[in-house]
């Protein structure tokens, strides 16, 4: 089997334009306090013709794999830590799909629709007053319910990195949030509305505000799981249309 060795994280993410976790090493080190980490491996340190990046987050561990041959793909996947569950995302034409299925015990867990909207097709629906969150709103962010500490940490971290985040405040409480991605600034990263405020247009309002901000520079994108009916309806109502899809696979090294 081919030899695998560590390689510079920034070099790999730039060479392969990794969208799913393209954060640079400096930002990655800042995020370490929240449980994030990353490493990159290769079978060819000179040309990086085959490489793998592994991104650890509090919720899951993501893997990006690009290989020039089946032998390279086999070697890189064999370097994954035993006992840990890994998450892969790729389109239906991904060449190393069968290698992943062979090397890891697991299966497909879903499909994500990748949607986009242009200025021409955008149908904004800002029903409630939306504020763009920044340093001045830290007290409001801290008032977010502590029973969802993971999401609260991600929101605070998003603000620390200067990402555009938008929210609706009701009686001094943040009830609906939308943040863009640290990896693709034109992407809606996540949207969340407190349960008692759902189905009332709060989500549409914060997403509309985020999209308006994005469309000043480029098309906006929004990824949605094919079983999330509410999110699909929100997308469609704002003018988003699917342009690609991604398959999800989770598994542990055999």
Residues 141 and 236 occupy one common structural domain: yes
Report d(CA 89, CA 40) in Å as an integer.
17
DSSP 132-159: EE-GGGHHHHHTS-GGGHHHHHHHHHHH
Q: Containing domain of residue 11, as a range?
A: 5-111+248-253
Question: Which residues of the chain form beta strands (DSSP E)?
Answer: 5-7, 37-42, 51-56, 61-66, 86-90, 104-117, 131-133, 165-170, 173-180, 187-193, 220-225, 241-253
pTM assigned to the model: 0.67
Q: What tens-digit pLDDT sequence spans the chain (254 residues)?
A: 899 999 999 999 999 988 777 788 998 898 888 889 999 999 999 999 999 999 998 888 999 999 999 999 999 999 999 999 999 999 888 999 999 999 999 999 999 999 999 999 999 999 999 999 877 777 777 776 655 666 677 777 777 777 888 999 998 888 999 988 876 789 998 898 988 999 999 999 999 999 999 999 999 999 999 999 999 999 999 999 999 999 999 999 99
Residues 120 and 182 occupy one common structural domain: yes
Q: Which residue has the tokens 């060479």?
A: 15
Residues 229 and 138 occupy one common structural domain: yes
pLDDT digits (tens, 9 = 90+) for 155-177: 777 777 778 889 999 988 889 99
CATH number of the domain where residue 177 is located = 3.40.630.30
Q: Is the Cβ–Cβ distance between 25 and 10 less than 8 Å?
A: yes
Q: How many domains in the chain? A: 2
């Amino acid at each position: 089997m081919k030899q695998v060795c560590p390689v510079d994280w920034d070099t790999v993410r730039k060479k392969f334009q990794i969208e799913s976790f393209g954060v640079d090493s400096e930002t990655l080190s800042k995020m370490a306090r929240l449980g994030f980490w990353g490493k990159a491996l290769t079978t060819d340190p000179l040309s990086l013709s085959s490489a793998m990046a592994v991104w650890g987050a509090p919720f899951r561990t993501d893997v990006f794999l690009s290989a020039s041959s089946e032998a390279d793909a086999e070697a890189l996947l064999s370097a994954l830590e035993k006992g840990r569950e890994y998450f892969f995302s790729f389109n239906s034409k991904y060449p190393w799909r069968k290698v992943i299925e062979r090397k890891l015990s697991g299966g497909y867990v879903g499909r994500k629709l990748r949607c986009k909207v242009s200025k021409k097709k955008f149908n904004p629906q800002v029903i409630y007053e939306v504020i763009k969150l920044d340093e001045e709103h830290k007290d409001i962010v801290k008032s977010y319910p502590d029973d969802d500490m993971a999401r609260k940490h991600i929101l605070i971290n998003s603000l620390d990195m200067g990402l555009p985040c938008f929210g609706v405040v009701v009686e001094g409480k943040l009830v609906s949030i939308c943040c863009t991605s640290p990896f693709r600034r034109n992407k809606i990263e996540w949207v969340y509305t407190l349960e008692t405020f759902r189905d009332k247009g709060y989500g549409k309002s914060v997403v509309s505000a985020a999209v308006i901000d994005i469309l000043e520079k480029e098309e906006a994108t929004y990824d949605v799981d094919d079983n999330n009916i509410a999110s699909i309806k929100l997308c469609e109502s704002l003018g988003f249309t699917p342009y690609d899809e991604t398959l999800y696979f989770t598994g542990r090294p055999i």
